[in-house]
Amino acid sequence: MESLSTRHLTGIKNLTLQDVELILSTALQFKEIINRPIKKVPSLRDVTVANLFFENSTRTKLSFEIAEKRLSADIINFSSSGSSVSKGETLVDTANNILAMKVDMIVMRHPHPGAAIFLANQLKKYPKSAHAQIINAGDGTHEHPTQALLDAFSIQQSCGSITGKKVAIIGDIMHSRVALSNIYCLQKMGAEVCVCGPPTLIPKHISSLGVAVSHNLIETLLWCDVANMLRIQFERQQLKYFPSLREYALHFGLTKKKLDTLNKPITIMHPGPINRGVEITSDVADSGHSIILEQVENGVAVRMAVLYLLAGKHQS
Q: Which residues bind ligand CP (CB under 6 A)?
A: 57-61, 138, 144, 147, 271-273
Min dist CB 102 to ligand CP, Å, is: 27
Q: How far is the CB of 179 from ligand CP (least distance, A)?
A: 12
Question: Which residues have a Cβ under 8 Å from the Cβ of 271 and sit 6 or more positions away?
Answer: 59, 144, 147, 151, 178, 228, 230, 231, 295
* Position 49, amino acid: V
DSSP character at residue 43: T
Least Å distance, CB 223 to ligand CP, is: 25
Distances (CA, A) of 96 to 50, 61, 73, 130: 12, 21, 20, 10
**Dist. CA 167–CA 205, nearest whole Å:** 19
Query: Please, what is the minimum distance in Å from the beta carbon of residue 75 to ligand CP?
Result: 17
Which residue, 112 or 215, has its beta carbon nearer to ligand CP?
A: 112
Q: Minimum Å distance from CB 272 to ligand CP?
A: 5
CB of 58 or CB of 97, closer to ligand CP: 58
Cβ atoms 21, 5 nearer than 8 A: no
Where would I find the beta strands (DSSP E) of 1-155?
A: 48-53, 74-79, 105-110, 133-139
- CA–CA separation, 207 and 55 (whole Å): 30
Nearest distance from residue 217's CB to ligand CP, in Å? 22
Dihedral, CA atoms, 245, 251, 255, 258, nearest 10 degrees?
Answer: 170
Closer CB to ligand CP, 31 or 177, in the complex: 177
Least distance CB 270 / ligand CP (angstroms)? 9
Q: Which residues of 40-71 are buried (b: 16+ CB within 10 A; e: fewer)?
A: ebebbeebbbbbbbbbebeebbebbbbbbbbb
Closest to ligand CP by CB, 197 or 271: 271
When the beta carbons of 58 and 90 are compared against ligand CP, the nearer one is: 58
Residue 91 or 150 having the CB closest to ligand CP: 150
Query: Which residue number, 43 or 181, has a Cβ lying nearer to ligand CP?
Result: 181
